[in-house]
Amino acid sequence: MQAVRFHQHGGPEVLMFEDAPDPVPGPGEALVRVRACALNHLDLWQRRGMAKVRLPFPHISGADVAGEVVSGAPAGTRVMLQPGVSCGACASCLSGRDNLCASYDLLGYMRDGGYAEYVKAPLANLIPIPDHVGFVEAAAFPLTFLTAWHMLVGRAALRAGETTLVLAAGSGVGQAAIQIAKLLGARVIATAGGAEKRERARALGADEVIDHYDQDLTAEVRRLTGGRGVEVVVEHVGEATWERSVRSLARGGRLVTCGATTGPAGPIDLRVLFARQISLLGSYMGGKAELLEVSRFFFEGRLRPAVDLTFPLRDAAAAHARLERKEQFGKIVLMPDP
């Protein structure tokens, strides 16, 4: 098959469009013909290299896949794939918290992913998609909507009537979190850079949009909440926004984070933590059952992943460069030649 692989860490130029062996599914696995594969920030970290993580080389990234079953399940079934892979037998897995499994992995992380014509995946990872859902949208859905659902529902328990601050509306997690928060009946204050992204954030349902280049985030949040602050902050930016995110919280507020795109340092004044009774919550992916739950809203048309652009698979390097330059609004999707 043809695939995009890298044999060493580096910039987008290490992504090679080349021949690779076809995946051979084992027992309990399906072979899927990839029709679309969405990019995630994780793909950039994998390509650049991460401390304490040793990826198998050559490496095929890609956690978000939609396509058609070739073998292992009824051939031709249109599916999207659960990105998380876990043992299925430990207490965490059996209690539905498989993202806490000690052997938790993702497609395209320690195993080959969807930057290819074919990918193999455990049968438990196949989610059939209805005819009216296209492959591009289906590939754009799983990882970010699962992540945002677990953050808002599983961790922060956002309730109707509360206000949430969602950072970076144009990011994968941001566009998903805005839609999920509105679905739950919350008020959404989003941040976005520039007039065009602000407009798109509103179109997704954000009630207020703060320009993170031009405006003072904390002051604007205070103004928009009558001085109170927000009940929930959806963080994933990290160092660049952390202190302002903490200061945007109301008393008793919850900050939930799933990433540190701009750096890992997150100082906290312990007097603020206890006196204002703040909760800091870490979140990573989500359980398989949570993805099935949130998928229902997708299939009913009540949640729609924002798709930025599609690229042919062979142009994965250009796609990475666009994500790296933060030019996108929503998901960038790769498509193998039909």
Q: Which stretch binds Zn ion (CB under 5 A): 22-30, 43-51, 83-91, 250-258?
A: 83-91
- In the complex with Zn ion, the residue whose CB is nearer, 105 or 239, is 105
Closest separation in Å from C-beta 159 to Zn ion: 30
What is the secondary structure of 89-136 as a DSSP string?
A: SSHHHHTT-GGG-TT-EEBTTTB--SSBSEEEEEGGGEEE--TTS-HH
Closest separation in Å from C-beta 26 to Zn ion: 18
Q: Is residue 237 a contact partner of residue 165, using CB atoms and an 8 Å limit?
A: no
Closest separation in Å from C-beta 104 to Zn ion: 7
CA–CA separation, 10 and 175 (whole Å) = 28
Q: Which stretch binds Zn ion (CB under 5 A): 101-109, 175-183, 243-251, 283-291?
A: 101-109
User: What is the radius of gyration, based on Cα positions, of the chain?
Assistant: 20
Q: Which stretch binds Zn ion (CB under 5 A): 16-24, 81-89, 204-212, 222-230?
A: 81-89
- In the complex with Zn ion, the residue whose CB is nearer, 6 or 104, is 104
Q: Which stretch binds Zn ion (CB under 5 A): 89-97, 159-167, 250-258, 284-292?
A: 89-97
Closest separation in Å from C-beta 89 to Zn ion: 6
Number of CB atoms found within 10 A of residue 100's CB = 16
Q: Is residue 164 a contact partner of residue 188, using CB atoms and an 8 Å limit?
A: yes
Task: Assess 87 for contact with Zn ion (CB under 5 A).
Answer: yes
- In the complex with Zn ion, the residue whose CB is nearer, 109 or 118, is 109
Q: Which of 20, 30, 69, 93 binds Zn ion (CB under 5 A)?
A: 93
Q: Which stretch binds Zn ion (CB under 5 A): 17-25, 27-35, 88-96, 158-166?
A: 88-96
Q: How many residues does the chain have?
A: 338
Q: Which stretch binds Zn ion (CB under 5 A): 96-104, 156-164, 231-239, 302-310?
A: 96-104
Number of CB atoms found within 10 A of residue 52's CB = 4
Q: Which of 16, 73, 90, 260 binds Zn ion (CB under 5 A)?
A: 90
Closest separation in Å from C-beta 125 to Zn ion: 14
Task: Assess 106 for contact with Zn ion (CB under 5 A).
Answer: no
- 163-202 binders of Zn ion (CB under 5 A): none
Which residue of this chain has its Cβ atom nearest to Zn ion in the complex?
101
Task: Assess 86 for contact with Zn ion (CB under 5 A).
Answer: yes
- Cα 330 to Cα 59, 132, 309, 315: the distances in Å are 25, 20, 8, 18
In the three-class reduction of DSSP (H, G, I as helix; E, B as strand; rest coil), residue 274 is classed as helix
Q: What share of the chain is helix, strand, coil (3-state, %, to 5)?
A: 30, 25, 40
- In the complex with Zn ion, the residue whose CB is nearer, 90 or 124, is 90
- In the complex with Zn ion, the residue whose CB is nearer, 93 or 152, is 93
Q: Which of 31, 101, 186, 319 binds Zn ion (CB under 5 A)?
A: 101
Q: Is the peptide bond before 142 cis (omega within 30 degrees of 0)?
A: no
Q: Is residue 291 a contact partner of residue 101, using CB atoms and an 8 Å limit?
A: no
Q: Name the DSSP letter for residue 23.
A: P
Describe the strand order of the beta sheet including 249-257 as a list of residue ranges: 208-211, 187-192, 163-166, 230-235, 249-257, 279-282
Size of the site for Zn ion (CB under 5 A): 5
Q: Where along the sequence are the contacts to Zn ion (CB under 5 A)?
A: 86-87, 90, 93, 101
